[in-house]
Chains A and B, each alone.
Chain A
Amino acid sequence: MSLRLPLPLMTAIVSSALMQPVFAHEQAGVAGGLASGLLHPVTGIDHLIAMVAVGIWGAQLGAPAIWILPITFPLVMAIGGVLGVLHVPLPMPEVMIAVSAVILGIAVAARLRLPFAAAAIVVAMFAIFHGHAHGAELPRAANALAYGVGFVTATGLLHLCGIAIGTLTRWPAGERLIQGLGAGIAAIGCYFLAQGVGAFA
């Protein structure tokens, strides 16, 4: 028995499935700023995987990286955010963000053990690019403080999420899982890198 739907009904179903909410008002005020700041770091996959990868790598590196990164990372990212808000140009920001996902993913997959200072410099450089992108895309209508609170909280929580995942390294199976996750992050980073250099255009 073949199920044949009439064309108008089919069109209606497809239209309903693809529809998105219409926002009559731009997100504004404290609530709008908070929501926008909280959602901004988690709605971009390239940002999200890089933030989580930083946390996982920090956990793999152990002390002092595991506790210095959560303290300093949001601050360094905010410096990048300041550059973005003030429209200070950085070279190839989208490509660098994709590169950050590739390199951090490889670092996690390969259990790369750099000296702490070198790891901190790599992470700080990427943090500035990520912060710059968020700052440049900041909604002008949003409440400045509320946006900052939401943005920093979401970034910090993503980072902590990575650290929590990174604690799986205590078990051999968990270590394999994390290395696989690192490879996945690097692969997604490669996709964004290809997109960034215009390979899909």
Chain B
Amino acid sequence: MKLNSARLLIATAMLLAGGSAAEAHIVAARLGDFYMGVVHPLTDLQDVVLWTATGVLAGTLGAAKGRWLIAVFPLGLLFGLLLGQVFGAASTQLADAAMMLAIGLLLAAAAQVPTVLLCAMAFAVAVIRGAANGADLAPETDRLLFAAGLTCVGYAAITLTMALTAVFKRTSSDSATSWRAIAVRALGGWIAAIGLMMASLALAT
């Protein structure tokens, strides 16, 4: 009995000595940079407002036009990330504000934007934000994993926002003065107002 207790004690001591810290989250592990790419834009208000505005605009125009963004937006993010690496950090505040103003006005006016223009605007937003996200990366960050994370979250966010807007607005059946259409247009007016204020603050400082 005594021998068993001693063995048990030794085994416990060995297990404790060989134990390492348990990590409930794998952010600190090798794939952490992937998750950093996923989370980074979601914690930046500029990304949240601009991505949402782009997704809502595409959603209001219907699936036929909006579906192009599923490919264009993540590609734009990748391209922007590359540009950010090459040209370094630069303030995108004025460009962000201009895009918010433009997209907000188009939403408020319920404009029927051609597919080419929609794709061009979404690509521009993605490039600007991709560059902004890539500009402040630490040297030890794995660029490939970060890019993969950013692209995945860009794809998911734009697809989800477009789908939710299309479902909310019911593009094909609603008139221009239904409360759903007005709610979307009012949101556009708010986004444009935010862009305008942000532009003035950027210019003032």
Measuring CB to CB, which residues of chain A are less than 8 angstroms from any residue of chain B? 30, 63-64, 67, 70-75, 77-79, 81-82, 85-86, 135, 138, 140, 143-149, 151-153, 156
Contacts and interface: CB of A to CB of B under 8 A. Distances in A.
B182 A148 contact: no
Given A82-B200, A86-B204, A147-B197, A74 B46 contact: no
| B interface residue count range (under 10 / 10 to 19 / 20 to 34 / 35 or more) | 20 to 34
Contacts, number: 85
Given A67-B177, A67-B182, A149-B45, A74 B190 contact: yes
Contacts of B194: 78, 145, 148-149, 152
A117 B193 CA distance: 21
Interface of B is mostly: helix
B83 interface: no
Contacts of A85: 197, 200-201, 204
Contacts of A75: 104, 108, 189, 192-193, 196
Interface in B1-52: 45-46, 49
B203 A71 contact: no
30 contacts: A64-B177, A70-B182, A70-B186, A70-B189, A71-B108, A71-B182, A71-B189, A73-B189, A74-B189, A74-B190, A75-B108, A75-B196, A82-B196, A82-B197, A82-B200, A85-B197, A85-B204, A86-B200, A86-B203, A135-B197, A144-B93, A144-B198, A144-B205, A145-B45, A147-B197, A148-B193, A149-B49, A151-B197, A152-B193, A152-B197
Contacts of A77: 193
A18 to B, nearest CB: 35
